[in-house]
Structure 1
Amino acid sequence: MREIEVFIDTEEIAEFFFHELMKRGFVPNESEVDELADITFDYLLKKCIIDEELDDE
């Protein structure tokens, strides 16, 4: 298996959840979709799908 580099943007995840929930008739607020994005990121970390790299900036 080869390794690929993937960048996960929680803001992009939050926007995706917002639009998908709206399509399904839900009206989430910003803090709710931000929380879902963070949970999704944590899930990907826990399942070892991604590794977290912290910026040194």
Structure 2
Amino acid sequence: MKEIDVIIDTEEIAEFFFRELLKRGYVPTEEEMDELADITFEYLLEKCIIDEELDD
């Protein structure tokens, strides 16, 4: 299986969720969006879909 580099940006995740929730009639706060983005990132880590790499 080929390995590829994928950059996951929690700010981009938050923006995506915000747009999708607005389409569905929800108006989340910025704090709620940040929490959802963090939870999504942690989920991807837990499922081993991504690996976290820290910048030096």
- TM-score using structure 1 length: 0.97
Residue 16 of structure 1 aligns to a residue whose secondary structure is: helix
Structure 1 unaligned regions, length at least 5: none
What is the aligned length? 56
Q: Match for residue 11 of structure 2?
A: 11
**In the TM superposition, what is the alpha-carbon distance from 1:13 to its structure 2 partner?**
0.2
Q: Match for residue 53 of structure 1?
A: 53
Structure 2 unaligned regions, length at least 5: none
- After superposition, the CA RMSD in angstroms is 0.3
- TM-score using structure 2 length: 0.98
**In the TM superposition, what is the alpha-carbon distance from 1:8 to its structure 2 partner?**
0.1
Q: % of aligned pairs identical?
A: 80
